[in-house]
Structure formats: C-alpha cells, structure tokens
A and B are shown apart, each in its own frame.
Chain A
Amino acid sequence: NAGVMQNPRHLVRRRGQEARLRCSPMKGHSHVYWYRQLPEEGLKFMVYLQKENIIDESGMPKERFSAEFPKEGPSILRIQQVVRGDSAAYFCASTATGGTNEKLFFGSGTQLSVL
C-alpha cells in the first residue's frame, strides 16, 4: 500500500531552467495539495487540485508557477525560469475526498536546488 509518491527526491537546476515535480497520490485519493517548505520555516500552502481541476491556487506565485492534475497520471508542479529563491523542499499531500474527518498524507518531498 504505497503512500504519496514524489519524484524526483532531489532536483538540481540552473537559473532560468524549468523544474517539473511529480506527485502520485495515495491509491484511491483524488485530492492533491502542494506545499513549499523554506529552510527554518513551516510549510506554506501553494495549490489544491482535484482531477482535472484547480480548486484553490491562492498560495501560488502569480508568475512562473503552474500545477495540473490530469485525468491520468501524476500531479505536476511546474516552475519555469527558476531563480535561486525557488530553492526549497516541495511537498505533496493527498486525501480521498477532502472531507472534514480525513487525514492529510504527505509525500517525502522533492528538494529543489537552484544553482
């Protein structure tokens, strides 16, 4: 019973390149959340997606960042033209229905380093 799977675990990009982070939710889960964790800080919400729909992107930077959760395949967080300030750990979490009595399960994260 695999949990939330994220890949890659580590991603190194040079400034100006694109970063693609993947998240496969737990089996049976159709609600995905992306969080970013900067050093010495807590996690900050970025975006909430259901299959083929963005439900809440209020935490996403307005430029360069996008997210999708297609009908088939993993959720993708895409960062275009990365800058050093994008270096962080990016975590994905999932729930089955987003309901009030559910647990939020996190993946192990992708550590993005921008050179």
Chain B
Amino acid sequence: QQQVKQSPQSLIVQKGGISIINCAYENTAFDYFPWYQQFPGKGPALLIAIRPDVSEKKEGRFTISFNKSAKQFSLHIMDSQPGDSATYFCAAGRGSTLGRLYFGRGTQLTVWP
C-alpha cells in the first residue's frame, strides 16, 4: 500500500514557468513532510521540509504548501530553470523517527530553455 501518493509522474515546464507537484498521504500520525531532489546517478538531496504547524514554507524559489485537513501538500518551483530538471520525491514521516520516511513514486521534471 502506497502511503504517499504523488502526481504527476512527469512534468514539462518552460523556463521561467511554475512547476507544481502534488502529494497526498493517509496516516495522520505523520508530522514531517520533506521534498527531495535527485539527479541521475546521485542520491536524493533534501530540498525543503515542512511540519504541520504551518501551512506554507518558502525557501528561495521553492515553496511547500500544506493542507492538513485534506492531507495534501505540494511543491511549487517558481521561475523554473533548466538546472531544476531532476526527479522530485515527496516523503512523509514522523519526526520522532526521522530516518524512516515513506516516499512518493517521484516526478520527473523537465524544464525547457
């Protein structure tokens, strides 16, 4: 059973556009929601993370929006750049067991110049 569902599977955006990736979860015990970025041949790298006590977190061009009642969260990449082309994974977990995360299936983002 997929604990975290992610969409879309792939996304093509023009340079300067906004990339939006969505995730949904079922387990209300989750209290930590990170996004990871992965380039080919590399391990995932933490991009940004949010806890359910806030509805939005912004770091540079990256923003997480969190809807606790809907059990959904999304990643917005503003002013998307070709260098943002990568696979993005959302994840969920409990802060008390930080390393035990449930990942979505990933979104392959391609930003055209």
A residues with a Cβ closer than 8 A to B are 4, 6, 31, 33, 35, 40-45, 48, 56, 91, 93, 95, 98-109
Contacts and interface: CB of A to CB of B under 8 A. Distances in A.
B6 interface: yes
Contacts of A107: 43
Which size bracket describes the interface of B in this complex?
A: 20 to 34
Contacts of B42: 108-109
B62 interface: no
Task: Classify the secondary structure of B's interface with A.
Answer: mixed
Q: Which of B42, B98, B104 has the most CB of A within 10 A?
A: B98
Interface of B: 4, 6, 32, 34, 36, 41-46, 89, 91, 95-106
Contacts, number: 64
5 contacts: A41-B105, A43-B89, A91-B43, A99-B98, A102-B98
A104 B98 contact: yes
Contacts of A102: 98
Contacts of A41: 105-106
